[in-house]
């Protein structure tokens, strides 16, 4: 659709360069800080904004609200850590890209931006729905085939669909697959987390109402007109919102925030981890909502009931890692350990495991000793904590961070993922280490490791000559 003027905002120069390369053909400007970006937005007109969540010291919601004061309809794409808390609830975003960001993700985000510019409104494609690598239909088990058939059948009609399953089984991914295989695939796929906001905020988010920063908001129901509205965790929706949802399900119309009753063509898909019949008996879910959502129910089996799919899923997740990982396969013994594990976190837990092993330098084949103890069964015979005696908590934390950076080839995004930290938290800790003279000012490799360590300096190969 032609060339766009795009502003890229992020504290990581390598990430900005990657985005600039992926956005070749557009007019791209970049800023290292959110404050500089805000100045640029006030002075120039942009078609889209790509921003790293960790580039601003304030909350994403607050910063986006200030952007909206300058440009109410600017399509915004956020770059965030894959294991971070969900981004952008209550904020209209075109996309959320999970690190490490690749060209395919960026190109998909540009298409979402183009759709937003064409339609005049923004569509919520949050991280877990639009760009994740998890595909619950991968596999050859009876459960995988049954799910594929159920989604294919549901894609042929417009009736509401209820997706039920344990956490991590892939309900939201199944919802996106349903949308993409239906006649509505080219229309908006709008997501609302029903458990993320109190009743008043959720009602305004769904049905529209006065906004704090940019006047009347359209509401997600209106944005989804012609497409699919995903009501995630519908069992947590407040009863007041459920009454309005029941009316929408009954006659395909809703009352907007300005009091105007509006007809919409929206396919409702909902997810739940609870038995809605029991929830209705307890009064948590309205009977009329249950009856209308329950016309088509699709269950997603836990991974423990489809263990024959684990090799297919592992291969799928390894392929998704791409060239950034040396891992090419799991050895036979390691695969046996995966099949014997109970997987309380289901497909999501398996995906995270493959991602973590993929960023560590274990070679091309994963062996049992590379797996976590709860999966490998190898808990060791010695005391793993004896070497830590004499070190403070801060020293232990620093050693763990620097060691993880070594293991990940000094990839801060990968290290943050392994450590369970956000990129911003890791950035702040490394800045502190620079101020303390522990790592170089222009890098994050160690200058010295003797501070606080009970055994003095480490071997010379970890000292400053490696910087």
Architecture of domain 390-466: Orthogonal Bundle (1.10)
User: Is CATH 2.40.440.10 correct for 303-376?
Assistant: no
The CATH code of domain 5-130 reads: 3.40.50.2300
Residue whose structure tokens are 């008996």: 281
Residues of the chain with CATH 3.40.50.2300: 5-130
**Strand, helix or coil at 164?**
strand
* pLDDT tens digits for range 220-239: 888 788 889 999 999 999 99
pLDDT tens-digit map of 252-304: 998 877 677 889 999 999 999 999 999 999 999 999 999 999 999 999 999 99
For 270-301, the DSSP string reads EEESS-HHHHHHTTSS-HHHHHHHTTSEEEE-
Is the model's pLDDT at 388 over the cut of 70?
A: no
Cβ pair 56, 34 in contact under 8 A: yes
pLDDT tens, 48-71?
Answer: 899 988 887 777 777 887 787 677
Could you give the residue range(s) of every CATH 1.10.10.60 domain in the chain? 390-466
Q: How large a percentage of the chain has pLDDT more than 70?
A: 78
Range(s) within the chain of domains with CATH label 1.10.8.60: 303-376
Distance CA(437)–CA(128), nearest Å, equals 39
Give the C-alpha separation, 223 to 243, whole Å.
20
pLDDT of residue 86: 45
Could you confirm whether domain 143-181+214-300 is CATH 3.40.50.2300?
no
Q: Could you tell me which residues come within 8 angstroms of residue 372 by beta carbon, excluding any fewer than 6 positions away?
A: 353
Asked if 111 and 104 count as a contact pair (C-beta separation under 8 A), the reply is no
Structure tokens of 216? 């009347």
More confident call, 435 vs 126: 435
Q: Supply the pLDDT for residue 405.
A: 83
SS3 49: strand
d(CA 444, CA 381): 34
- Which pLDDT score is estimated for 201? 84
pLDDT of 452 reads 40
CB 317 within 8 A of CB 355: yes
Q: Where does CATH 3.40.50.300 sit in the chain?
A: 143-181+214-300
pLDDT digits (tens, 9 = 90+) for 168-224: 899 988 998 899 889 988 788 888 888 877 888 888 888 886 644 334 456 788 878
CB-CB neighbours of 369 under 10 Å: 10
Helix (H, G, I), strand (E, B) or coil at 99: coil
- Whether 138 has a pLDDT exceeding 80, the answer reads yes
Where helices occur in 157-305 by DSSP H, the ranges are: 171-180, 199-207, 220-223, 239-251, 276-281, 287-293
pLDDT digits (tens, 9 = 90+) for 78-118: 887 755 544 444 445 667 777 777 777 777 777 767 666 65
Task: Give the CA count within 13 Å in the CB-facing half-sphere of 420.
Answer: 3
Q: How many CB atoms lie within 10 A of CB 216?
A: 12
Pair 413, 81: CB distance under 8 Å: yes
Read off the pTM.
0.58
Q: Are strands 209-210 and 216-217 parallel, antiparallel or unpaired?
A: antiparallel
Can you give the pLDDT at residue 87?
A: 47
């Amino acid at each position: 659709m032609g060339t766009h003027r795009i502003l890229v905002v992020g504290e990581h120069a390598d990430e900005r360069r990657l985005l600039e390369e992926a956005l070749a053909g557009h007019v791209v400007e970049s800023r290292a800080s959110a404050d500089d970006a805000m100045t640029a937005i006030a002075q120039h007109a942009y078609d889209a904004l790509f921003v790293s969540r960790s580039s601003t010291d304030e909350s994403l919601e607050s910063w986006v609200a200030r952007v909206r004061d300058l440009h109410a309809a600017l399509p915004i794409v956020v770059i965030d850590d894959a294991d971070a808390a969900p981004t952008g609830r209550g904020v209209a975003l075109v996309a959320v890209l999970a690190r490490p960001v690749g060209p395919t993700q960026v190109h998909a985000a540009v298409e979402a931006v183009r759709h937003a510019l064409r339609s005049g409104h923004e569509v919520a494609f949050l991280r877990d729905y639009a760009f994740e690598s998890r595909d619950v239909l991968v596999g050859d088990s009876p459960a995988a085939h049954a799910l594929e058939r159920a989604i294919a059948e549901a894609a042929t009609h417009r009736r509401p669909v209820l997706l039920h399953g344990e956490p991590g089984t892939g309900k939201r991914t199944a919802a996106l697959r349903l949308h993409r295989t239906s006649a509505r695939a080219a229309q908006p796929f709008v997501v609302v987390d029903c458990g993320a906001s109190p009743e008043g905020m959720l009602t305004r988010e769904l049905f529209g109402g006065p906004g704090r920063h940019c006047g009347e908001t359209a509401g997600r129901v209106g944005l989804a007109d012609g497409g699919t509205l995903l009501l995630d965790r519908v069992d947590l929706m407040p009863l007041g919102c459920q009454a309005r949802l029941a009316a929408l399900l009954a006659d395909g119309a809703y009352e907007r925030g300005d009091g105007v009753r509006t007809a919409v063509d929206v396919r409702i898909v909902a997810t739940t981890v609870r038995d809605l019949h029991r929830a209705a008996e307890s009064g948590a879910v309205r009977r009329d909502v249950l009856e209308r959502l329950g016309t088509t129910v699709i269950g997603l089996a836990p991974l423990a009931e489809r263990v024959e799919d684990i090799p297919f899923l592992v291969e799928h997740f390894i392929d998704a890692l791409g060239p950034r990982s040396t891992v090419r396969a799991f050895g036979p013994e390691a695969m046996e350990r995966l099949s014997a594990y109970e997987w309380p976190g289901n497909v999501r837990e398996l995906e995270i495991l493959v991602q973590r092993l993929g960023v560590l330098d274990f070679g091309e084949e994963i062996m049992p000793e590379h797996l976590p103890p709860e999966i490998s069964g190898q808990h060791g015979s010695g005391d793993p904590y004896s070497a830590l005696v004499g070190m403070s908590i801060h020293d232990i934390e620093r050693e763990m961070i620097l060691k993880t950076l070594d293991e990940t080839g000094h990839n801060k995004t990968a290290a943050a993922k392994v450590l369970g930290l956000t990129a911003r938290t890791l950035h702040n800790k490394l800045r502190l280490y620079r101020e303390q003279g522990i790592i170089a000012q222009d890098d994050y490799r160690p200058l010295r490791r003797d501070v606080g360590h009970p055994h003095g300096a480490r071997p010379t190969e970890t000292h400053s000559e490696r910087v």
